[in-house]
Structure 1
């Protein structure tokens, strides 16, 4: 029987219900587990790439192809190309079927519940915008795939280094092709117009422990301000890909258009930066009503109070 998902965080005072919920606890533990699993790894590191990881990569590749099949239309408005709504509808119409296709028979009953998070992972059809809430939904979608046993612990490095990296390439393509608006951007005072998690997990990738020899070009956060460094390492590290993308779409001095990241470059180590970004993610994303209000809850993502730890 398909599980029904419903909104529970409807007014600002409901944020307390979210922060005490099993869903919040599960999600935070998932973010921390993926952070730990990718420590010191990059896209080229040796890791298990299972058949199920490849199935998810194929699913994202299909959405990428759908963009090519739905080109932007000519319109006077600079932002929010209306062709995005056509792309979204095509994707939405086949979302449950697409998820059923990758799940084994024993898990197909979970497809509708999973589809609720998958649907909200790629922006808003009405506003033609994208932000950290949509990014969070994709992470919740991945978390649920672990919860139902589709992914196992051995898949964790590839889920971030392969699947989440592929997701980032896809949503950046959506943002640029359809000129999507940032959802709830705080301008230069936010970390980034659209994303947050790739900075968290990406900074963990750059924490290199002895006896491994760190790359002297990227051994300290301050080095991402060297414009050629992010571009050179964009294919390997999520964090560097974020900076390279910012450098490609924003003009002017970095300290002006990305003040928070510029300040972060002064952190003495990637480990310290990673710890600080996790705290910032909790405060600036997970505790914000405008972001969390769109979350839906069901069996896998439960609003019930979390058990004491």
Structure 2
């Protein structure tokens, strides 16, 4: 059956500019870090792609090593483009990254021109694309001069292989220097992707200020703290969860402490009073900051996508609600 997207899809979503660039991203973006690799059924991934796009999510975020196995999430993206989304390519923002280990040998990771160029070429081939909308340096590489990495990224824009440049996992100082180097190389930093949630507020320690100063957007990954900010862990660790999977690269059981569970329970009570689920409140809490362009969700079921997008119907937080949330977070962070 030929896929036809819903006509009203854009009416369901809010779109925000990434800093001072012309790039707009949906307030909710879909990450393909897990559940979209070669070990997962294509039709299940396809149902989530379709549900996301029909909900107005036009941004799909990847990296060269996403899977498992590495590279297979991009292959799934390429297959989706061929089967369903080729007519909609100009409505999509597709991003990918390089910087973490991807293949054997001295050029298989890092920020060198050799690795980053080869990685982008491989990603384009896997997805069947001429260009990506955003290309990220996935992490800083202390063994490569930052000038080399930034000059390479700026060159991709000039070559038409990428439209916008992004960074991920860079410190505030590294981000500011990278933005300056990009500008010197004739490029521009459009967006930064840090890990950010109610339970991980590190970007508040200088990064968000740097992004605002430099006119750079921000998209938060792991906004639900890898599932800790869902109702799944309010009563402990359920069977079948990520934390029960000893082989999972994500959440482990020792992360689900009594303090975390108690915090989630209290936050869940506030969410219920607001007429929301805990994940919806956690996403809305991030997006209350105008410096946030988008939140990058993961999903294993269509219902997760639909639930998260309904967050956009949230009422604004009252000063009293924000004060109570802050007290809960500060109470349990102390001493950890």
Same structural fold, with TM-score higher than 0.5 when normalized by the shorter chain: no
TM-score range, shorter chain: 0.3 to 0.5
TM-score calculated relative to the size of structure 2? 0.32
**Which structure shows the bigger proportion of residues in helix conformation?**
1
TM-score calculated relative to the size of structure 1? 0.34
Tell me: higher relative CO, structure 1 or 2? Use CA pairs within 8 A at least 6 residues apart. 1
**Which structure shows the bigger proportion of residues in strand conformation?**
2
